[in-house]
Structure 1
Amino acid sequence: MTTVTLQQIVPDFELPSTGDKTIRLSELRGKNVLIYFYPKDNTPGCTLEGQNFRDHIETFNQHNTVIFGVSKDSLRAHENFKEKQQFPFDLLSDVDETVCQLFGVMQMKKNYGREYMGIVRSTFLIDSEGKLINEWRNVKVKQHIDEVLAAIKSL
Protein backbone atom coordinates (compact mmCIF):
# COMPACT_ATOMS: atom_id res chain seq x y z
CA MET A 1 0.00 0.00 0.00
CA THR A 2 1.25 3.48 -0.82
CA THR A 3 1.52 6.09 1.88
CA VAL A 4 0.50 9.72 1.74
CA THR A 5 2.89 12.28 0.28
CA LEU A 6 3.08 16.01 0.93
CA GLN A 7 1.50 18.17 -1.79
CA GLN A 8 -0.43 15.17 -3.17
CA ILE A 9 -4.13 14.32 -2.97
CA VAL A 10 -4.78 11.93 -0.06
CA PRO A 11 -6.44 8.70 -1.24
CA ASP A 12 -10.04 8.40 -0.12
CA PHE A 13 -10.80 6.32 2.96
CA GLU A 14 -13.60 5.77 5.42
CA LEU A 15 -13.63 4.80 9.08
CA PRO A 16 -16.29 4.25 11.73
CA SER A 17 -16.66 7.23 14.02
CA THR A 18 -18.07 8.22 17.37
CA GLY A 19 -21.69 9.32 17.15
CA ASP A 20 -22.56 6.19 15.17
CA LYS A 21 -21.24 7.71 11.93
CA THR A 22 -18.89 6.73 9.15
CA ILE A 23 -16.43 9.40 8.08
CA ARG A 24 -15.38 9.39 4.43
CA LEU A 25 -12.56 11.77 3.49
CA SER A 26 -13.99 12.60 0.04
CA GLU A 27 -17.20 13.86 1.68
CA LEU A 28 -15.20 16.53 3.52
CA ARG A 29 -14.04 18.39 0.40
CA GLY A 30 -14.47 22.12 0.86
CA LYS A 31 -13.12 21.92 4.42
CA ASN A 32 -9.61 21.61 5.77
CA VAL A 33 -9.16 18.35 7.68
CA LEU A 34 -6.80 17.85 10.60
CA ILE A 35 -6.23 14.19 11.43
CA TYR A 36 -4.21 13.29 14.48
CA PHE A 37 -3.12 9.74 15.21
CA TYR A 38 -2.55 8.81 18.83
CA PRO A 39 -1.60 5.56 20.58
CA LYS A 40 -4.38 4.96 23.13
CA ASP A 41 -7.48 6.50 24.70
CA ASN A 42 -7.26 7.72 28.30
CA THR A 43 -3.48 7.84 28.53
CA PRO A 44 -1.78 11.04 29.76
CA GLY A 45 -0.18 12.21 26.50
CA CYS A 46 -3.19 11.31 24.36
CA THR A 47 -5.56 13.02 26.76
CA LEU A 48 -3.48 16.22 26.82
CA GLU A 49 -3.20 16.25 23.03
CA GLY A 50 -6.97 15.92 22.62
CA GLN A 51 -7.58 18.59 25.27
CA ASN A 52 -5.28 20.99 23.40
CA PHE A 53 -7.28 20.53 20.20
CA ARG A 54 -10.55 20.81 22.18
CA ASP A 55 -9.46 24.02 23.88
CA HIS A 56 -8.72 25.69 20.52
CA ILE A 57 -11.76 24.44 18.61
CA GLU A 58 -12.97 27.99 17.89
CA THR A 59 -9.76 28.78 16.01
CA PHE A 60 -10.14 25.61 13.96
CA ASN A 61 -13.79 26.47 13.24
CA GLN A 62 -12.85 30.01 12.17
CA HIS A 63 -10.40 28.52 9.66
CA ASN A 64 -12.87 26.00 8.18
CA THR A 65 -11.00 23.06 9.71
CA VAL A 66 -12.52 19.86 11.09
CA ILE A 67 -10.56 17.66 13.50
CA PHE A 68 -10.51 13.88 13.82
CA GLY A 69 -8.53 11.79 16.27
CA VAL A 70 -7.59 8.28 15.14
CA SER A 71 -6.39 5.28 17.11
CA LYS A 72 -6.87 1.51 17.07
CA ASP A 73 -9.20 1.66 20.09
CA SER A 74 -12.78 0.41 19.75
CA LEU A 75 -15.68 2.77 19.12
CA ARG A 76 -16.93 2.01 22.62
CA ALA A 77 -13.61 3.15 24.15
CA HIS A 78 -13.68 6.22 21.87
CA GLU A 79 -17.21 7.14 22.94
CA ASN A 80 -16.20 6.99 26.62
CA PHE A 81 -13.00 8.98 26.02
CA LYS A 82 -14.81 11.63 23.96
CA GLU A 83 -17.56 12.04 26.55
CA LYS A 84 -15.18 12.12 29.52
CA GLN A 85 -12.98 14.78 27.89
CA GLN A 86 -15.87 16.65 26.20
CA PHE A 87 -14.15 16.57 22.82
CA PRO A 88 -16.16 18.61 20.27
CA PHE A 89 -14.79 16.46 17.43
CA ASP A 90 -15.15 12.83 16.47
CA LEU A 91 -12.74 9.98 17.14
CA LEU A 92 -12.25 7.38 14.42
CA SER A 93 -11.57 3.70 15.06
CA ASP A 94 -8.94 2.04 12.85
CA VAL A 95 -8.79 -1.42 14.41
CA ASP A 96 -7.45 -3.06 11.24
CA GLU A 97 -4.79 -0.31 10.80
CA THR A 98 -5.80 0.47 7.19
CA VAL A 99 -5.63 4.26 7.55
CA CYS A 100 -2.69 4.02 9.97
CA GLN A 101 -0.79 2.19 7.20
CA LEU A 102 -1.89 4.76 4.59
CA PHE A 103 -0.38 7.53 6.71
CA GLY A 104 2.67 5.45 7.72
CA VAL A 105 2.18 5.87 11.46
CA MET A 106 2.58 2.20 12.50
CA GLN A 107 6.15 1.66 13.66
CA MET A 108 8.19 -0.52 15.98
CA LYS A 109 8.12 0.96 19.47
CA LYS A 110 9.82 0.08 22.75
CA ASN A 111 8.30 0.28 26.21
CA TYR A 112 9.94 -1.13 29.32
CA GLY A 113 12.23 -3.22 27.12
CA ARG A 114 9.35 -4.75 25.16
CA GLU A 115 9.15 -4.16 21.41
CA TYR A 116 5.82 -3.93 19.63
CA MET A 117 4.15 -2.31 16.64
CA GLY A 118 2.21 0.80 17.59
CA ILE A 119 0.99 4.19 16.45
CA VAL A 120 3.60 6.92 16.46
CA ARG A 121 1.89 10.17 17.45
CA SER A 122 1.46 12.11 14.20
CA THR A 123 -0.76 14.86 12.78
CA PHE A 124 -1.71 15.61 9.18
CA LEU A 125 -3.33 18.68 7.65
CA ILE A 126 -5.31 18.20 4.44
CA ASP A 127 -6.54 21.26 2.57
CA SER A 128 -10.05 21.83 1.26
CA GLU A 129 -9.15 20.23 -2.07
CA GLY A 130 -7.95 17.01 -0.43
CA LYS A 131 -4.21 17.68 -0.71
CA LEU A 132 -1.83 16.89 2.18
CA ILE A 133 -0.23 20.25 3.00
CA ASN A 134 1.42 19.62 6.36
CA GLU A 135 2.57 16.70 8.48
CA TRP A 136 4.02 16.41 11.93
CA ARG A 137 5.57 13.07 12.87
CA ASN A 138 6.88 11.89 16.25
CA VAL A 139 4.89 14.69 17.87
CA LYS A 140 5.83 16.10 21.26
CA VAL A 141 2.48 17.07 22.77
CA LYS A 142 3.40 20.21 24.73
CA GLN A 143 4.46 22.47 21.83
CA HIS A 144 2.48 20.71 19.13
CA ILE A 145 -0.72 22.76 19.38
CA ASP A 146 1.21 25.97 18.70
CA GLU A 147 2.73 24.52 15.53
CA VAL A 148 -0.64 23.30 14.30
CA LEU A 149 -2.40 26.59 15.06
CA ALA A 150 0.28 28.52 13.15
CA ALA A 151 -0.27 26.28 10.12
CA ILE A 152 -4.06 26.62 10.34
CA LYS A 153 -3.86 30.41 10.59
CA SER A 154 -1.65 30.57 7.49
CA LEU A 155 -4.32 28.93 5.28
Structure 2
Amino acid sequence: MSVTLDQPVADFQAAATSGQQVRLADLQGRNLVLYFYPKDSTPGCTTQGQGFRDQHGAFLAADTLVFGVSRDGLKSHENFKAKQGFPFELISDGDEALCQLFDVIKLKKLYGKEYLGIDRSTFLIDKAGVLRQEWRGVKVPGHVDAVLAAAQALQQG
Protein backbone atom coordinates (compact mmCIF):
# COMPACT_ATOMS: atom_id res chain seq x y z
CA MET A 1 0.00 0.00 0.00
CA SER A 2 1.36 3.40 -0.90
CA VAL A 3 0.27 6.96 -0.33
CA THR A 4 -2.44 8.68 -2.37
CA LEU A 5 -3.04 12.40 -2.80
CA ASP A 6 -5.77 13.85 -0.55
CA GLN A 7 -5.82 10.68 1.57
CA PRO A 8 -4.47 10.18 5.11
CA VAL A 9 -0.92 8.82 5.25
CA ALA A 10 -0.57 5.59 7.25
CA ASP A 11 1.13 6.16 10.60
CA PHE A 12 4.82 5.35 10.58
CA GLN A 13 7.75 5.47 12.95
CA ALA A 14 11.39 5.81 11.95
CA ALA A 15 14.77 6.49 13.52
CA ALA A 16 16.23 9.94 12.91
CA THR A 17 19.27 12.01 13.81
CA SER A 18 19.63 13.50 17.30
CA GLY A 19 18.38 10.20 18.75
CA GLN A 20 14.81 10.92 17.69
CA GLN A 21 12.04 8.54 16.75
CA VAL A 22 9.83 10.29 14.21
CA ARG A 23 6.22 9.17 14.37
CA LEU A 24 3.59 10.67 12.09
CA ALA A 25 0.87 10.51 14.77
CA ASP A 26 3.07 12.59 17.12
CA LEU A 27 3.41 15.34 14.48
CA GLN A 28 -0.31 15.96 13.93
CA GLY A 29 -1.11 19.65 14.16
CA ARG A 30 1.89 20.68 12.05
CA ASN A 31 2.43 20.48 8.33
CA LEU A 32 5.20 18.14 7.29
CA VAL A 33 7.64 17.99 4.39
CA LEU A 34 9.32 14.64 3.77
CA TYR A 35 11.97 14.85 1.10
CA PHE A 36 13.50 11.60 -0.12
CA TYR A 37 16.99 11.75 -1.59
CA PRO A 38 19.38 9.07 -2.91
CA LYS A 39 22.54 9.43 -0.79
CA ASP A 40 24.22 11.55 1.88
CA SER A 41 27.04 13.88 0.82
CA THR A 42 26.53 13.54 -2.94
CA PRO A 43 26.40 16.77 -4.99
CA GLY A 44 22.66 16.89 -5.84
CA CYS A 45 21.59 15.72 -2.40
CA THR A 46 23.87 18.25 -0.71
CA THR A 47 22.51 21.11 -2.85
CA GLN A 48 18.93 20.00 -2.15
CA GLY A 49 19.54 19.78 1.61
CA GLN A 50 21.21 23.21 1.60
CA GLY A 51 18.10 24.64 -0.08
CA PHE A 52 15.87 23.29 2.70
CA ARG A 53 18.42 24.51 5.26
CA ASP A 54 18.50 28.02 3.80
CA GLN A 55 14.68 28.27 3.76
CA HIS A 56 14.18 26.52 7.12
CA GLY A 57 13.01 29.68 8.89
CA ALA A 58 10.38 30.26 6.22
CA PHE A 59 9.15 26.65 6.56
CA LEU A 60 8.87 27.09 10.34
CA ALA A 61 6.98 30.36 9.79
CA ALA A 62 4.54 28.32 7.67
CA ASP A 63 4.20 25.87 10.63
CA THR A 64 5.91 23.18 8.54
CA LEU A 65 8.51 20.69 9.77
CA VAL A 66 11.09 19.37 7.30
CA PHE A 67 12.65 15.89 7.35
CA GLY A 68 15.12 14.43 4.87
CA VAL A 69 14.87 10.67 4.22
CA SER A 70 17.35 8.24 2.66
CA ARG A 71 18.53 4.67 3.16
CA ASP A 72 21.82 5.83 4.71
CA GLY A 73 22.53 4.88 8.33
CA LEU A 74 22.28 7.25 11.27
CA LYS A 75 26.08 7.69 11.54
CA SER A 76 26.27 8.85 7.91
CA HIS A 77 23.22 11.09 8.50
CA GLU A 78 24.74 12.67 11.62
CA ASN A 79 27.96 13.48 9.71
CA PHE A 80 26.04 14.90 6.72
CA LYS A 81 23.76 16.96 8.97
CA ALA A 82 26.68 18.36 11.01
CA LYS A 83 28.85 19.14 7.98
CA GLN A 84 26.02 21.00 6.21
CA GLY A 85 24.54 22.63 9.33
CA PHE A 86 21.08 21.22 8.68
CA PRO A 87 18.61 22.53 11.31
CA PHE A 88 16.21 19.64 10.61
CA GLU A 89 16.48 15.90 11.25
CA LEU A 90 17.38 13.20 8.74
CA ILE A 91 15.47 9.92 8.85
CA SER A 92 17.31 6.64 8.27
CA ASP A 93 15.16 4.26 6.22
CA GLY A 94 17.53 1.30 6.01
CA ASP A 95 14.67 -1.22 5.86
CA GLU A 96 12.97 0.88 3.14
CA ALA A 97 9.64 0.93 5.02
CA LEU A 98 9.10 4.63 4.27
CA CYS A 99 10.47 4.26 0.74
CA GLN A 100 7.86 1.51 0.15
CA LEU A 101 5.04 3.52 1.74
CA PHE A 102 5.81 6.52 -0.50
CA ASP A 103 6.73 4.32 -3.51
CA VAL A 104 10.05 6.07 -4.22
CA ILE A 105 12.27 3.06 -5.08
CA LYS A 106 12.77 3.02 -8.83
CA LEU A 107 14.98 1.24 -11.34
CA LYS A 108 17.85 3.60 -12.18
CA LYS A 109 20.85 3.46 -14.48
CA LEU A 110 24.39 4.58 -13.76
CA TYR A 111 27.27 3.93 -16.15
CA GLY A 112 25.16 1.35 -17.97
CA LYS A 113 24.36 -0.64 -14.82
CA GLU A 114 20.81 -0.90 -13.53
CA TYR A 115 20.04 -0.75 -9.83
CA LEU A 116 17.17 0.07 -7.48
CA GLY A 117 17.53 3.50 -5.91
CA ILE A 118 15.55 6.35 -4.42
CA ASP A 119 13.79 8.57 -6.94
CA ARG A 120 14.25 12.11 -5.59
CA SER A 121 10.74 12.94 -4.32
CA THR A 122 9.08 15.32 -1.87
CA PHE A 123 5.75 15.04 -0.05
CA LEU A 124 3.71 17.70 1.76
CA ILE A 125 1.44 16.36 4.51
CA ASP A 126 -1.08 18.62 6.23
CA LYS A 127 -1.82 19.03 9.96
CA ALA A 128 -4.36 16.20 9.88
CA GLY A 129 -1.90 13.75 8.31
CA VAL A 130 -3.37 13.98 4.79
CA LEU A 131 -1.04 13.98 1.76
CA ARG A 132 -1.67 17.33 0.02
CA GLN A 133 1.07 17.52 -2.58
CA GLU A 134 3.78 15.34 -4.08
CA TRP A 135 6.73 16.01 -6.32
CA ARG A 136 8.34 12.98 -8.01
CA GLY A 137 11.44 12.81 -10.18
CA VAL A 138 12.56 16.10 -8.64
CA LYS A 139 15.14 18.33 -10.27
CA VAL A 140 16.96 20.27 -7.56
CA PRO A 141 17.03 23.86 -8.99
CA GLY A 142 13.94 25.79 -7.85
CA HIS A 143 12.43 22.79 -6.08
CA VAL A 144 12.66 24.07 -2.49
CA ASP A 145 10.95 27.33 -3.49
CA ALA A 146 8.05 25.37 -5.03
CA VAL A 147 7.67 23.25 -1.87
CA LEU A 148 7.82 26.36 0.33
CA ALA A 149 5.14 28.11 -1.74
CA ALA A 150 2.88 25.03 -1.37
CA ALA A 151 3.51 24.91 2.40
CA GLN A 152 2.69 28.62 2.71
CA ALA A 153 -0.51 28.18 0.68
CA LEU A 154 -1.49 25.26 2.94
CA GLN A 155 -0.81 27.38 6.03
CA GLN A 156 -3.08 30.14 4.72
CA GLY A 157 -5.80 27.59 4.12
What is the TM-score when the length of structure 1 is the normalising length? Answer: 0.98
Amino acid at match of 2:45: C
Following superposition, the deviation at residue 45 of structure 1 comes to: 0.3
CA deviations 1:13-52 (Å, max 9, x no partner) are: 0110100111101100000000000000000000000000
**Correspondence for 2:150:** 151
Cα distance between partner residues in 2 of 1:94 and 1:16: 8
Query: For 1:98-137, what aligned pairs fall within 5 Å after superposition?
Result: 98-137=97-136
Counterpart of 1:130 in 2: which secondary structure? Answer: coil
Cα distance between partner residues in 2 of 1:114 and 1:36: 25
Counterpart of 2:141 in 1: which secondary structure? Answer: helix
Following superposition, the deviation at residue 150 of structure 1 comes to: 1.3
**Correspondence for 2:60:** 61
Counterpart of 1:148 in 2: which secondary structure? Answer: helix
Structure 2 residue 5 is matched with structure 1 residue 9: no
Cα distance between partner residues in 2 of 1:6 and 1:72: 24
Cα distance between partner residues in 1 of 2:28 and 2:83: 30
Counterpart of 2:44 in 1: which secondary structure? Answer: helix
Count of residue pairs the alignment pairs up: 154
Following superposition, the deviation at residue 116 of structure 1 comes to: 0.3
Amino acid at match of 1:97: E
Amino acid at match of 2:41: N
CA deviations 1:79-118 (Å, max 9, x no partner) are: 0000000000000000010110000000100000000000
Aligned identity (percent) is 56
**Correspondence for 1:138:** 137
Following superposition, the deviation at residue 74 of structure 1 comes to: 0.4
Q: Which runs of 5+ in 2 are unaligned?
A: none
Following superposition, the deviation at residue 143 of structure 1 comes to: 1.6
Cα distance between partner residues in 2 of 1:150 and 1:59: 10
Query: For 1:25-64, what aligned pairs fall within 5 Å after superposition?
Result: 25-64=24-63
Cα distance between partner residues in 1 of 2:59 and 2:145: 12
Cα distance between partner residues in 2 of 1:150 and 1:63: 9
Structure 2 residue 77 is matched with structure 1 residue 81: no
Cα distance between partner residues in 1 of 2:75 and 2:9: 28
Cα distance between partner residues in 1 of 2:35 and 2:68: 5
Following superposition, the deviation at residue 153 of structure 1 comes to: 1.5
